Each structure stands twice: as C-alpha cells, then as structure tokens.
Chain A
Amino acid sequence: MPISVKIPTPLRKFTANKDTVEVQGATVGAALRDLEARCPGLWAKICDDDGKVRRFINVYAGDDDIRFLQGLDTPLAEGSDISIVPAIAGGR
C-alpha cells in the first residue's frame, strides 16, 4: 500500500532534497521504518531511543497528530499520507 510521506525542509538532506517520499506500511510505524530503509538516518531524527516521536517533531496521519491516535501503531488507510512537521512551540 503506497503511502506518501511529506518531509520538512530541515530533513530533506536525508531524502536527496525530495519533499515527498513514497513508502509502504500498514501502520505509521511500519511506514516510517520503510522510510528509514529508503532514507537512512531519518528514523533517529523522528524518534528517540525509546521509539517515541521526539518532542520537537510531529507526525501527522492525515490531519491528526498521531499522539492523539495510536501513536506509531496508528493504522493507515488506503491512500493515506503522513506529514512530518517540526513543532512550533515555546514559552516564557
């Protein structure tokens, strides 16, 4: 099942500057592992050593942050797309 993964500018050095990469996977985690196989080095930028999405990165399945779904176990429907988006956050 082809999944389209959108890559943010700071991470395109891992994708030969491509803004979108087609991967395979039935879940977000599987899709990201396939992304790592195609573009080595990206997984560590997205997830920490415990396999959780890093705080400064958001992974969206469609319009939803996967933290509010089933995390990396979030199932992907036919034609789904994933967006990797750097967080915009801060505070005093």
Chain B
Amino acid sequence: MRDPRQVFDRYGRQLLVSGVDFAGQARLHAFAAVMATDASEVTAVAAEAAGRYLVGAGLGRAVIAPAAREGLQAIDRDLVLLDGPADAEPPVAHFYFAQRPYGASVDVAVTDSAAGWLAGLAASARVATLRYEIGVPAESEDAVTIGALAADLLVADVLGVEALPAIVVCDLRDPEAPRMDRQPARRDDAARPLAAPPPGLLRDLKQHPELVKIVFEDCAAHYPCEACGLLLRDAAGALSAQPTQNLQDRYHALDPVAYPRTSRTAYKLNERLIARAADQGQTLVGIYHSHCDAGAYFSAEDARCAAPGGEALYPGVAWLVVSVLGGTVRAAEMFHFDQESGDFAAEPHP
C-alpha cells in the first residue's frame, strides 16, 4: 500500500486547482477518506459500487456513524481514513472528505486500523481497468464529479490497484482536450447506497427567487459571522423566509465552556420564534444558516446539533446551508434527515 501522502502529492493539489479554475467556488471537497464496517462490505464497494459511493461522497452524501464522527472530530486533519464500528446499522461504507477553503493547506491522516482495512481491501478487490485524465469541465455539476473522481483516484492509488470505471475522462493538463461522456450508471439515483431525498423544499425555494434573495443577502450581510433564519409555510402553502438573530455570541459569553464557538463558526437561533410563527398559522419547514469561508456541506457540528444521538430534533424539517466565501454567497445545499441511515443527505438540485 502506498503512503497516502505521496498520493496526495501526486493528485491532490492538481485536482484542487482544477476545481478552483473551473468552478471558482468551494465545491470540490473530496480527497478521500474511506471507512467501512467490515472487509466484505468494502469488497462489495470496490467490486460493484465504488463509483456510486464516491459520487455520493462528492455530493456530500457521506454517511458517518456517530462513533466515527467523534473520531473524526478528534483528528484535526482534512483527510481521514478510519474504519467504522462493526455493529453499525445499516452497514455502510463511510467517507470523510476535506472541507476547507481553497488555499488552505491539506494534510492526510490514516489511522492504524484503517491502514489494515485498506490492506485487506487491496488483497480482495477485483477492479476494472481505467485511465484517468482530468480536464476542465464546462458545467458546475462537474465540480461534484471531479470531487468524486479525486476520492476515487486516491483510494485506488492507496490500494495500489487500478481504479474502477470512470465517471469522466478528460485531461487536466490540457483544457482543450475533448471530454468523454459519463457512464450513466454512475448517476443512477436508485442504485446509490444512501437514497437521495425526493425533490422538496429546495425545488420550492428555487421557484421563489425573491426568497432566495432574502436568504442570500442575509448570509452575505452577516459575513464573517454565520447567519441563520427560518423557512416557513402558511396554511395556504405559501413559503416565506424569515432572517433571525444569531444568538451564538450571547451563549458563548454566558458559558464559553458549553458554547466554545462564537458566531464566526456557529449559530444558534431563538427557537421561540417557531412557536410565534405557529401562532400566526405558519409551520416551520426549513432552517437556513451560512458557513463562512467554508463549503455548503452539512458539518459534523450541524449533524450533532440537529440529530444528537442520531435522533432528529425537528423531524421533517430541511436544512439549507449557504457557503459564503469572502463575503460572497457561492453555493447552497438543502439537507434532509435520512431516517434509515440516521444521517443527512443533500437534496438534488432541480
């Protein structure tokens, strides 16, 4: 097995730069990280569905068991390979990927247990042949693809095996090189290990640019602090966006031990506003908040607060995360709690 640091040196920076050049925003997060609950599951991933898993990772549909989440938080690295608990239900492969602003240094960490796990995979995986050439895609959606590809490349190279069938074949070093088509199976939602949530609040929100404007302007105005607010629906089904005050600094000042973060990296809103909205016939359907100089991912902190112990505190409510880089809104993703997996999944963009 190769040292992942060497692999990163070989591919990582190249792919990261590719994402910046093409998307101009922090959509590329995937630089590997594979965890699994047992070797047979990993074999299945490698033999059948690595591409789908990795696309899922690129889309932010990583599934991380609570125990593994704690381990990830304990390691202050961008790229972590860990194995998950043996009794995880449902048994899934786990990914964790770098989520830092561009330009930040990236490091790689591999735990001892994960190293053993990867070695086992290398011995058992049967893979198809493939040639990867990374290019400059034309559509923003391809940032996700490249992120997935980055993870795929890294995993394959760490294992010392050839990579699985590609999603995209193009040439990073030659932007003019022709692109080849994706393989449709990779985009097959029905085959993904973590079911994509059905179109919902994101679709509805996109039909109301005036509401998107309210949310984005609120997020930009609060930079470099996180903004937060409510997405409400009235009895007639009309959607509205209500910016709220981020109370995080007030709680931090009261108890910096219990609330170590400030509004720069966290939010807390006044939950009593939900009851007041209900008194006016409005139902909470979504909660938005911004990430400053970070991507529109559902962070470990977001998940820990929204579903401590894997139990959603607000069942049925969606979570809109807005990425604000340098004061400008760059991306937004809507996340839904997946009851089956006990984790959060991004709603596909309509």
A83 at the interface (CB under 8 A from B): yes
B:130-170 near A, CB below 8 Å: none
B176 at the interface (CB under 8 A from A): no
B269 at the interface (CB under 8 A from A): yes
Q: Mark B230-254, 1 if CB is under 8 A from A, else 0.
A: 0000000000000000001011001
- For the residues of B in contact with A, the DSSP-based class is mixed
B289 at the interface (CB under 8 A from A): yes
Residue of B nearest to A11 (CB): B313
A:67-92 near B, CB below 8 Å: 67-68, 83, 85-92
Contact indicator A91/B254 (Cβ below 8 Å): no
Contact indicator A86/B292 (Cβ below 8 Å): no
> When the two chains form the complex, which single residue of A10, A60, A89, A91 contacts B272, counting CB atoms closer than 8 Å?
A60
> When the two chains form the complex, which single residue of A8, A10, A83, A91 contacts B267, counting CB atoms closer than 8 Å?
A91
- In the bound complex, residues from chain A placing their C-beta under 8 Å from that of B275 are 83, 85
> When the two chains form the complex, which single residue of B251, B265, B269, B304 contacts A88, counting CB atoms closer than 8 Å?
B269
Assembled-state Cα–Cα distance A63/B276 (Å): 11
Q: Which of B13-21, B119-127, B191-199, B294-302 contacts A (4 or more CB under 8 A)?
A: B294-302
Also in contact, A90 and B315, with CB within 8 A (given A58-B271, A67-B255, A68-B254)? no
Contact indicator B315/A10 (Cβ below 8 Å): yes
* Chain B residues bordering chain A, tally (CB within 8 A): 38
- In the bound complex, residues from chain B placing their C-beta under 8 Å from that of A56 are 305, 308, 313
A:43-68 near B, CB below 8 Å: 55-56, 58, 60, 63, 67-68
- In the bound complex, residues from chain A placing their C-beta under 8 Å from that of B271 are 58, 85-88
Contact indicator A87/B272 (Cβ below 8 Å): no
- In the bound complex, residues from chain A placing their C-beta under 8 Å from that of B272 are 60, 63, 83, 85
Contact indicator A90/B289 (Cβ below 8 Å): yes
Known contacts A55-B258, A88-B313, A91-B301; 20 further A-B pairs (Cβ under 8 A): A9-B315, A55-B259, A56-B305, A56-B313, A63-B272, A67-B254, A67-B255, A83-B275, A85-B274, A85-B275, A87-B268, A88-B268, A89-B268, A90-B266, A90-B305, A91-B248, A91-B266, A92-B292, A92-B294, A92-B299
